[in-house]
Each structure stands twice: as structure tokens, then as C-alpha cells.
Structure 1
């Protein structure tokens, strides 16, 4: 009897969080992705593929954060993109649950399903980035979203960090610089931002990339940021890894 209760409770903990019907779809997508990332850490099979999926989910979070700075009600493209994202998140959550429970029908089939969901996340991220890029080109005055206060939750801090990443990715030179300045301000004042930055692979990658920027302002801000991050043990190893990846990508003509 107790085992049945424990099993039911375990399955409930792996369910997607219940959100009110009136909740904004962007917020819903963000919360579901965070829930999915958390669940994925308990998966003991297909480790490499789930690591890749987590990375893609982080990129999707960044794209959603950028989309969150605009009014989806006034953007038909965004209104159409979010439901598709939610569908893929739900689909991926089902795959995660089956991997946790070891209830999938076949290893090769599950590997194929994971590859397909990875491709879907890439498509969603590219679509959202394109939508946001077009908006930023129209609204050259766009500014970084309001910085969370000192009492902000971890998720609020992560949302803000992902918004900065999206601006580093799709913004023009000035917007990239402003995002870097904002990032340097928060990591100097609150080490929680450093800890979260280390978890966002794309953010560290951009910082390393910008060190080689021809724009002096961008280069200087990137150097400042990496200097602070390298002061943390977890930051050192991540930066070394990012620099190695940068060197490999450059040798193959990447990171243009």
C-alpha cells in the first residue's frame, strides 16, 4: 500500500506543472522548459542525447526570453510559434518520462525520437530568433528588460540572463555592447549571476567569442566578464572548455 502511494507520488512529481488557464503562454513555455530540464537530470539512459537536449532547451529559453520583451498579441508570427513550442515541450516531457521509467519500446526507436525532438527544438529556436531579430531591426531603440531586484528568485535571474544572451546573439553592435555592460554590472554585484551564467553554455560561448571582436567596446566588456567568471572554480573549467571549442570551431571556419 505504501509502495503504491510512493509510486503515485513519484509519477506526480514527474508530471508537467499545472498552470492556470489565464497564464501567458510565454511564461507557461518557460516554466515547462525549466521543469523539463530538471526532470532530465534524473534520466540515466541516453546521457549524451539528453545533454544535447538540455543545451537546446537552454537556447530555446534564451529565444523565449527575447520574445517575452515584445507583445505577442501584436505579433501574429509569435502567436503562432508559441503553441508549436508548447507541443514540442509536451512531447519531449513524455519522452523524458519514458526514459526515467525505462518504459520505451526499443532503444533505436527512442534514439530516433530524441533526434527528432532535437531537430524540432532547433527549428523553434531559429524561428523565434528570426522573429526577434526582425523586431529588433524595426525597434533599434530596444532596451534590456528590467533587472531583477536583490530578492529575485533563481528563475527570475535566469530569465534575465537568458534575455541578455538573446541580445548578444541577435542584436546589433550597440545592443550587444549594452547587454555585456548589463551583464558585467550584475555579476559584480551578485555572484548568483555568475553561477547561473556558468550553466548557460551559449552565454559563456559568446563571451569567449567576443574577446576576439574587432569592436573595442565589446572586446573590453567580454574580457571584464571572463575575468570575473574565472575567479570561480566552476567558471574556470567552463571557460577553458569554451576556449577549446572556440579554437576547434575556428580551425573549421566556425564562429564567423
Structure 2
């Protein structure tokens, strides 16, 4: 539909002059003196005074702006109608009856108030003071500035678009939103989003998300809000501070078009990623909405992935955690672990990890009872992406405080084969560390056959003990080694590996300050006490006594006992003489 053209500037100026010099003075006089419906005319008197002030304040060039011309063209018949009503009120017979006259007067006052609101908004925007209309006096919207345009040009464009968004009809509103989307579409640096958030009326934009708005208008408004929420921190903060989370959740919960719901969900993901905003989700009742969005058949796979990503963002918050359990979210998250989309699986696993690691033992037991472990183990078995493996392993590790989970894991040789593969073949030191922690925690409860099958990762764990950062890697690897070396065949295999023995002896050297001596000494002691003479001889020949003696002198725990175990008094005397010489 082609929108009606605005009146030419000369006609708009003539209409303003007629209003200011003829209609308003007469109406103000009537409003001050009329006796019928006096209270309503007294209220109208204030509106008329404000209208007179606004029209007078408008600059002389205002008539060239199409929005101002449209407003003046609408004011003229409204004031003429009010003038006719004033004549009826001054007639003692009150033609048409008092109630009809009262109703007509209320409708005229309401219409006039809306026009005054739009005029005031246009004046506050500053658009009437900018000489842009000369270049395009009848433009529906200003031309979208290029990405390289100045901030001043973008600010003017944004203020103009938001003025049309609040003053114009449906067609103008749709075109204004389309122009904002064009501006935001080429905004990799987030500069345009910052201008829109700073210069535009984001609260007015959010009101368009209401279910009563025209569907096309609502769809485009959601797209603009989603751009603002995902573009940069500054625009995202404005959307949140203006109360955008509630309307976005209502869009997600409604029967809106799939694309609209996806955009709303993307915006919610971005908002809840900020720790300072995530808490508000439960205040808007968002947990049940998101759980429902994650259920099978509730939306597209994209929507499910976005909804579970939001839950992952907020799962560590107490109110959200309890609401998630109460709303039946645990079985839904477990079902999502079987999803073929890696992103959805990752978010579901991280959500369960957050619930288990922050929650109490009851929450952890509820997750296990919901059947989380089998799909987690299956997902770990087929996962090839390291980030996904990391997320799944975090979730599994957080459940190992539950006895039922420990029994399930320890009865799965395949799981320990996967841990071995992660330690031996994974390129991520953090993932290797997590696998080592799992070995350390669970190996004491597994069979000797399982420990024997994990022997290939022993040399890698020794290498991990040499990793300086993060320091916790040394402890994780040391604990895992001690657990595996409880098996005699693993100890024999260790001492037959010259490289591993050499590394261990090097770690005992007091000059190697990057290595904490606790676990190297404990491992050396486990080898010395758990092996025969052949084992002790190998450790002795590797040159360990000199380092152990210095550690014993420094009163490092276990060093003296290890030294005594592998060396006789005679050998210690010979070594002492050799060191003195």
C-alpha cells in the first residue's frame, strides 16, 4: 500500500497559522468560560495551552518535515470538531443530550491528547531543528547511513526512525523498523547498535513486542531487539535495563512464528550470558518457559539449542536451580543429551554439570535418578569434538559423589578405555587433567583387569607431572599414577620404561623448583616398597639416591623412607664418601 503524501510545506504552514491565530484563541476562551461540562473543559484548557506552546516552539522550518506536516494536518480537523462541540456546550438546550455531548467531548479530548503527545515527542527528538528535509522533503524515512558514515549522521537517522516508529501509521512503522534492520545488518563492530541504544527509545521498541501489536510489526521489532541484544555489551545492557527480558520471554512462550521465537531466544541467550542480568530470568517466570521450549516438538532444533543454552547460563543461580527441578527440567535435559546436535548436547551437559557441582547431594542424586549417566556415557563414546568431551566429562565427574553413579561407572570398562584414550591421545591438557582426576577418584574401586588395561596412559601421566601450568595438573597426574601403581604389573611396567624412570628421578632433583616434590616422592616410595630387588636396583641405578638424600635432609615427607628402602647402610656410606670427595 502506498502511503499518503504529506501536505506541502506551504499548506502545513497555513494550517499552523490558522490553528494558532484562529482556532486555539477561540477554544481557550470557551474552555475558560463555558458552564456545561465545566470540569472536562478545564482539563481541555490545559491540553490546549500545551498545544499552543508546542506549536509556537516549533521552528519556522518545521513545516517542511513530513511528520510535522502530517500532525498539523490531523490537528486542524480535530480542533474544528472541538470548536463545534464548544458551540453545543454553550447552547442552554445541550443539543443531542448531555450524555452524548459528554461522550463526544471525551473522544475529542483523547484524540487531541494523542496528537499533542506525538507533537511533543517530535519536538523532543530535535529533528525539526535539523535541515534534512530540504534534500528529501517527502521521504518516508531518511536514507540508511553507510557503515562508514559519521556518528552524527547515524544519530539523526535513528532519531528520525524512532519518531516515525511512534508517530506514523503502520506502513511508516514497518518502514522505520526495516531501515533500522538495514542499519544494524552491517554492524560487525557494534557501533550502530550503540547509536540505536543511545539515541533511540528502546522502551517504545519493546512495547511493540506485545501480543496486541500487528504481527508484521512485532516480527520486525523482535528482529531489531535481537540485534541490539547480541551486537555488543552496551546495547545489550540497555535492552535489559529497559525491561526487555520479560517481553522476549513472552514472545518465546507465545505461538509466534518460528523465526520470531528463534530470534527472541537468541536475545535471551545473550542477555543471560551476563552474570549481572542472569538472575532476572526466574523473576519473569522464565524457567518454565525455557523448559517447555526444550521439550520435543515444542519448536525447531535451533530453538531447543538456544533454550537449553539459556538454562546453561543460569543453572548456577539458586532460584533457577530449584525451579528447574520443580518444573521437571531434569528429564528434559537428559533427553537432550541424545540430541545429534553437538551444541545442544554440550549445553545440556554443562547445565547438568552446573546443577550437580553447585547443588547439594540431593540434587546430584536426582540427576542420577533421572537417568543422566547412560546418555552421558553414550555421548562421550561417540563425541569427537573436544569441547563436547570436556562438557560431558565435567557432568560425569560432578556426579561421582553419588554411590549409584560410582557403581555404574566402575562397572563400565568402556568408560575407563575412553579415559585412557583421552589421556593418551587428547591434545587438551585440561581435558587430560579431568580424565586423570576421574582415574584417581574411581581407580581404587575398579578391578585389577581395568587397571591393567589403563597401563598405556602411565607414561603420559608421568609427562603430565612435568607440566608447570596449571599447577593442579601435577597433582591430578600424581594422584592418578598412585591409583594405577597399586597394581604390581603396572609397577613393573613403569620401572621397565627407562624414560619414565628418568623423568621421575629428574622431578626429584631439588633444583627442579617447578615440580612439587610431594607426588614424585610418593610415587617413588610406592615403586620402592611394592617391587622386588630388581625394581629397587633399577631405581638406584637411575641416580635417585643423591636427590632423595637432599630431600630427606630438607625433611620432605617420605623422602627418608624411600631412601632407606632402596639403599643399604653400606651403599649409603659409599655414596657419602663419594660425595665428600
The TM-score normalised by the length of structure 1 is 0.42
Q: Kindly name which structure, 1 or 2, has the bigger radius of gyration based on alpha carbons.
A: 2
Q: TM-score normalised to the size of structure 2? A: 0.19
Bigger relative contact order, structure 1 or 2 (CA pairs below 8 A, ≥6 apart): 1
